[in-house]
Amino acid sequence: MAPFEALYGRPCRTPICWVEVGDTVLPRPDVVKHFAEVLPSIKERLKAAQSRQNTYDDQHRRNVEFHVEDRVLLKVSPMCGVIRFGKKIAKLSPRHIGYFQIIERVGDLAYRLDLPQHLSNVHNVFYVTMLREYQPDNSHVIDYSTIELAANVTYDEAPVRILGKEVRKLRTKKIPMVKIQ
């Protein structure tokens, strides 16, 4: 008995025999011969399409491997409360904080980081996509002590002060614009 038939209690409908369950009509020999001739070319085209899609997908992948005691930056996600025109305004928000030292490798693609005490509410094991190799340069390191991270590595942005106000005039509308730090 086939696995499909054992699972569903009826035979599987294949392209060769595409009839309703219970019918006993056998396909004509010319239909079976046609499917037998076409099937190898269909398989070849499917393999070619899968290979093409794999090459497209592999372009976005990077093989990253870290070692114990390497220093890495941690990716964070800003949760901005201001939504204008259906998009979050978080263009200039920090994307990576740190640098943190790797304590150990957990599995093939996860690493345990040495986080400071004020980030104790964040789990210290991160997937490799959340980490970026640290290039020693003090100009791009964000002071993470001012950012309060949630357990899911997100933070809320709060305005510091209003820098300026103006009203943009369109053809039929006036839109108040506020520049916030």
Domain spans in the chain, listed from the N-terminal domain onward: 3-58, 71-180
- CA 41 from centre of chain: 35
Residue 68 reports pLDDT greater than 80? yes
- Pick from 159, 160, 162: nearest CA to 80: 159
Token look-up 């070849």 returns 44
* Separation CA 17–CA 163 (nearest Å): 73
- Pick from 62, 64, 69, 65: nearest CA to 113: 69
Mean pLDDT of 115-133: 86
Residue 21 reports pLDDT greater than 60? no
The token duo for 178 is: 């506020």
The token duo for 126 is: 């991160």
Instruction: Please give the share of the chain, as a percent, with pLDDT higher than 90.
Output: 10
Token look-up 């994307």 returns 95
Query: What is the rounded average pLDDT for all residues in the chain?
Result: 77
Q: What angle do CA 85, 96, 135 make, to 5 degrees?
A: 140
Phi/psi at 143 (5° precision): -75, 100
Quick check: pTM over 0.85? no
Residue 130 reports pLDDT greater than 60? yes
Residue 8 reports pLDDT greater than 80? no
Q: Is 139 exposed, middle or buried (0-12, 13-18, 19+ CB in 10 A)?
A: exposed
Token look-up 């003090």 returns 138
**DSSP tag of 37:** H
